[in-house]
Amino acid sequence: MKKRTGIFLLIGLFLLSLNAVAQDKNFYIFLCFGQSNMEGNARIEAQDTVNVNPRFQVMEAVDCPAINRTKGNWYTAKPPLCRCRTGLTPADYFGRELVANLPSTVRIGVINVAVGGCKIELFDKDQYMSYTTNVPGWMKNFIGEYGGNPYGRLVEMAKLAQKDGVIKGILLHQGESNTGDTLWTKKVKVVYDNLMNDLDLKPKKVPLLAGETVNADQNGKCASMNKIIATLPQTIKNAHVISSAGCTDSADDLHFNAAGYRELGKRYAMQMLSLLGYKPMATN
């Protein structure tokens, strides 16, 4: 009996060692979620499709046969980074800027689950079903691409990703559909706390970076929401607000244009680099 127990113990230790080898501590993973400005509203331009460093990876959260991507697998992070036909996002230049400033031994991975037009309630695992009852049909179609539960898909993909690397942060761009909602910060905290619990993460080690909506200096229609977003660090201690000041937008004054996404993504990266203890190099 002792011999058999010893064998099982050795087998268990062997399997644990295999898992340790498989997980690369230098593979930094970031979860991205929100509504249309995280989904990507701007058209992808030629400059966005070239010179993507293979150290920057995206885990596809949906099946995209047209671009030869399968849910749950890693690919070089050439846009689109959200669903199969979405546009440029802040995550694109967030990742590019990180790999440009981090040691060559470090890889970056992003998982982007976002739904245009949604309220933050869509990502509350206890409220999303009641919320989705009355959303428009087009939004239900987007939600359906995530199996009807975007939060659940984000967690599913994140657990897969944790086998390969380490989750280092969370990027949020949401708020337009909750403009004026003074409970927004508390609702975000519910989602953040659920992610910490469901993925066994420590809040002190996993910051939340939240981007502002299109700024008042661009005549942003939801710019008033930025006053509420600014208070997020009062509710989530490890939250950091990313300014959208000067980030150019599209004609609808709701979405950033491609140049705006590039700049905003770099600002997310600058904040994350600082939190990781790196001084960013000057870039164009």
- Residue 110 phi, psi dihedral angles, 5° rounding: -125, 150
Active site residue 104: no
Contacts of residue 95, defined as CB under 8 A and 6 or more positions apart, other chains included, come to 30, 56, 58, 77, 108, 110, 265, 269
H or E element, residue 278 = none
**253 in catalytic set:** no
Name the active-site residue from 173, 244, 249, 255.
255
**Residues in a beta bridge with 29:** 109, 167
Active site residue 240: no
Give the span between the Cα atoms of 102 and 110, in whole angstroms. Answer: 15
Catalytic residue of the set 36, 173, 177, 249 = 36
**Strands 107-114 vs 27-34: parallel, antiparallel or unpaired:** parallel
Query: Per the omega criterion (within 30 degrees of 0), is the bond before 80 cis?
Result: yes
Residues annotated as catalytic (active site), given as ranges: 36, 252, 255
